[in-house]
Structure 1
């Protein structure tokens, strides 16, 4: 049975020191350790008395008789909510790396996000998770019709979540083109039509695109009418809306080096979560249906606060990143409940801020 107490300044300092030492060493903490390393100007007996009260309140516990104390999930919660100072020093190496790679350019956003995920895992020493940008309305950003050498036309679309989609069309679908037309004529017609379609369709949802009214095309583009209608129908039928955001995951090898995961069974549980239960993990880090403006900037789930049993030996720290005012993805870190919260929170927050700024 836990006892309710009001944490005074001494309680807070001893709880903070106990948790910081346990995070650093993974060893139960005794009063002598706190006296020797944290310069408390009180006796060892006083510290033992305070630690006993903190244990009765449910913030600390002894893993076995005569051992020192270690933090409980409730103790970590008090630590995170009241006692930490965020480590802003992580922003410099993170932003420096990201700026370098942005300036030098990746040809695909997926590659850049993979690099960011890897960096986050290396800096945190834990599992890093980043979902690729998701735009629920699947807005068309750009399209281009290209002539292929094998009498086909390729439509390339860039969706506003940075994914690309392509559709192959038969050359004779565009009836205004003739077999004896020169390459220059064909390319010019495709360019004209691409510009027209971009003008008309940019910013439209792919789910609604085939329902647009094309009955009042002006004379210059009336000859394209049948082609446009068949093209838009094919766009809609070929594009499959995803109900889940792809999760990029790095850092499993870092996590298993933590002493909490020295047991092979614990490793298997986490590995199964990452490989086979992503559909259950995703709503914990990116769930638009639960989003509102009151959503806290960084969300922290500690141990038993995680609804998944496989996560209850871990802490999950996550934050949304935005395009404009709309959340389009999430950055997260999974580590033991003994995770270095100051650094992990700062890493997640600064990564999410950086992605929001660049998007």
Structure 2
């Protein structure tokens, strides 16, 4: 092992001990706890070099050292592969997510699961509607003058809307309307479906024109993005377990998490479902998030990324375990949405 590799082993040992104990790590503890195969004098020299390189730092009240953002970054970059979860963990994830009833339930369950697995704050973005296609539109008469429209997309999203027609229409007209709507919208991306629907009232026979106008205006509303439904957050109390991880900034972090825009920006980096992105401390653009690390990835099916998910926690986190959990949950959510 050359000196560089040995110093990295010392850094790795400092990261492991600091993450598990939340106490600055001294050279004696490293020699006692880790089989580094060198003397404590060598370890002290290595720690001095790591400190010069800005990879570890000494908190002023302690003789020990803690990793810096730069140290965590080197540690994460040299994780050659993310350790896979055990078979039991994977089966538990699958069983929990397979019980989901609909898209909202999938989102809620994933966020709860991710927060439990990582003991951090979990964030899951709803499938981005602009990338969804319309699978089917159902038109259900509630009364002779009132219809319920059910819009189903390929991502498992179901949107229900009521339409008051202002006039009575018969079952035959409802059937004709259903056929026209489905032939205009089925298998189209939402934006294209919206454009197609906008043209339908003009093409409708005069006796259906008024009803069609009302139905189409409600459908267009459904096809446009709903920003208020863009993400689900879970496990916020996990942040407050270790207030010392956020000196003077916990309130800022909690406020930033409430600002959906900030969190969605963090997830925007996760545009690929094959890689897990880790942003550490100052690498986060949003100032309020610079005492946190964000581990995120995309989820989707058939090569299409539908949204992002990830966790937000202190920079002192179990990176290998967190990255494995984020990747595993994302993979299952993608599979579930593909099968719906």
- Please state which band the TM-score falls in when normalised by the shorter chain: 0.7 to 0.9
Partner of residue 195, structure 2: 208
CA contact (8 A) 1:155 1:166 kept: yes
Distance between the aligned counterparts of 1:270 and 1:95, measured in 2?
33
Instruction: Using the TM superposition, give the Cα deviation of residue 314 of structure 1 relative to its aligned residue in structure 2, in angstroms.
Output: 0.8
Contact map agreement 2:139 2:150 (CA 8 A) in 1: yes
The match for 1:154 is 148
Corresponding position: 1:28 with 2:24: yes
1:271 aligns with: 254
Where does structure 1 lack aligned partners over 5 or more consecutive residues?
1-5, 178-185
Question: So what's the TM-score if we normalise by structure 2?
Answer: 0.86
- From 325, 330, 333, give the equivalent of 2:311: 333
8 Å contact kept, 1:319–1:349: yes
Question: Which residue is 1:251 aligned to?
Answer: 235
1:85 deviates by 5.2
CA contact (8 A) 1:321 1:352 kept: yes
2:4 is the alignment partner of 1:8: yes
Corresponding residue number in structure 1 for 2:285: 307
Q: Secondary structure at the match of 1:136?
A: helix
Change (3 A) 1:111 1:257: same
The number of aligned residues is 332
Report the CA distance between 1:163 and its aligned residue: 4.0
Shift of 1:270: 1.7
- Aligned-residue CA RMSD (Å): 3.0
Q: Partner of 1:242 in structure 2?
A: 226
- Report the alpha carbon displacement of residue 329 of structure 1 after superposing the two structures with TM: 0.8
Structure 2 partner of 1:231: 215
Distance apart, 1:160 and its partner CA: 4.1
Task: Decide which structure has the larger Cα Rg and report it.
Answer: 1
Q: TM-score, normalised by structure 1?
A: 0.82
Quote the offset at 1:253 in angstroms.
1.2
C-alpha deviation, 1:149, in angstroms: 3.5
| Alignment partners' CA distance in 1, 2:331 and 2:105 | 19
Contact persistence 1:299–1:318 (CA under 8 A)? yes
CA gap 1:166/1:90 in 2 versus in 1, 3 angstroms: farther
